[in-house]
Amino acid sequence: MEPYRVVRYGKGAATFYLQDCVAGLGEIKEKSVDVVVTSPPYNIGVGYSSYRDTLPREKYLEWMQQVAAAVKGALADDGSFFLNIGNRPKDQWIAWDVALVLRRQFALQNVIHWVKSIAISKADAGNYPSITGDVAVGHFKPVVSNRFLNDCHEYIFHFTKAGDAKMDKLAVGIPYQDKSNIGRWKTAKQDRRDRGNTWFIPYKTIQNKKDRPHPATFPVKLPEMCIRLHGSAKLVADPFTGIGSTALAAKNLGTSFVGFEIDRGYLDEAIARVS
C-alpha cells in the first residue's frame, strides 16, 4: 500500500492514504496504533464531495461493524478508540445504534458529551465570581420546529478493548475552584482536577464558507483532548480523515499520524493544513 503523501514534522510524521479505511487499516501493522480519533459519516445525507451519505440503515450499521473490526485489528491492546457521532432531530437513535454495533467488539469505557453551545443562567450558577450574568456561549443553530430542541451536543464514545485502559485524566484537567482542596485530599497533589465527561468545545466563528471546505468537521481541540486523555501515544489514526483535524492535533502534540480518506480534495486540504 503506497501512501498518497507523508508530511514530516519534528520527530513524527503524518502518513495519508487516499483509500478506503477498512481495506487500509487491514494493511497497517497489527496493534500498532495507540489512539484512534474519528468521526464517521452519520448516514444523514450530508453533501460530501465523493461519499453518498444515504445508505439503508442496516447496510450502514454493517459497514460500521466492518470499520470497528478493522480498527480493533490496528489498535494496541491498551489503545483508545474515540468515536465522535451525533444524531439529527428526526432520528435520535443513530449514535446509540452505532454504539450498540460496536459493543460486539469493544468495551465502552467512557461516554463524553461534546457540548457545542450552552446557556447558564446566573440564578442557577450561584455565587461564581467569574459568572456575573446570564451566559450563552457557542453557536446556536436555529431549528425551525416546535418539536425539536436545538441540538447543542454530540457524543464521543470512548471504546477500549477491555474497559480498563489507564487514562491521564489530569492532562485534560481543570484548576480547582476552591484551592483549599489541594493537599486536603490524598489525590489532590496539584491544582488540577478531573474535568468530567462534558467537554465544551465550540466551533470557531468563520466569516466565509471557504474557511471550512468540508461539510462535517470537528474542531482540532476535540482530537487534541482525546489524545491527551489517553496519555502517551506514538501513533494516532483517523480512518475518516476529512480535512485532517485529527492529523493536525497529532502534529500539535508531536505524535505520528496515519489517516485514510476516499476524497482527494479533502485529503489535499488535510495535507495543506498539516504542512
Ligand X SMILES: C[S@@+](CC[C@H](N)C(=O)[O-])C[C@H]1O[C@@H](n2cnc3c(N)ncnc32)[C@H](O)[C@@H]1O
What is the binding site for ligand X (CB under 6 A)? Answer: 20-21, 39, 41, 48, 50-51, 214, 216-218, 239-240, 242-243, 245, 260-263, 266
Residue 141 or 179 with smaller CB distance to ligand X: 141
**43 burial type by CB count under 10 A (0-12 exposed, 13-18 middle, 19+ buried):** buried
**Least distance between ligand X and beta carbon 236 (Å):** 13
Q: Which residue is nearest to ligand X (CB)?
A: 242
CA distance 195 to 255: 23
Q: How far is the CB of 242 from ligand X (least distance, A)?
A: 3
Half-sphere exposure of 184 (CA within 13 A, CB side): 8
Which residues make Cβ contacts (< 8 Å) with residue 129, sequence separation at least 6? none
Q: HSE of 124 in the Cβ direction (CA atoms, 13 Å)?
A: 5
CB of 176: closest distance to ligand X in angstroms?
33
**Closer residue to ligand X (CB): 24 or 193:** 24
3 state DSSP class of 265: helix
- Toward ligand X, which CB reaches closer, 193 or 267? 267
Minimum CB distance to ligand X smaller for 79 or for 223: 223
Q: How far is the CB of 40 from ligand X (least distance, A)?
A: 6
Cβ nearer to ligand X, comparing 39 with 160: 39
Distance from the Cα of residue 202 to its chain's centroid: 13
Q: Give the Cβ contact number of residue 38 at 10 Å.
A: 25
Q: Which is nearer to ligand X, 176 or 217 (CB)?
A: 217
Query: Residue 206 Cβ, how far from ligand X at the closest point, in Å?
Result: 14
**CB-nearer residue toward ligand X: 193 or 257:** 257
Provide the residue type at 264 as one letter. R
CB 69 within 8 A of CB 21: no
Shortest gap between Cβ of 70 and ligand X (angstroms)? 10
Please, what is the minimum distance in Å from the beta carbon of residue 69 to ligand X? 14
3-state helix, strand, coil in the chain (%, to 5): 30, 25, 45
d(CA 274, CA 248): 6
* Cβ closest to ligand X, residue 193 vs residue 249: 249
- Note whether 13 and 256 are within 8 A (CB): yes
* Alpha-carbon torsion angle 168, 84, 88, 113, nearest 10: 0
Distances (CA, A) of 58 to 3, 28, 95, 101: 32, 28, 14, 11
Q: How far is the CB of 268 from ligand X (least distance, A)?
A: 12
With contact defined as beta carbons under 8 Å apart, do 223 and 246 qualify?
yes
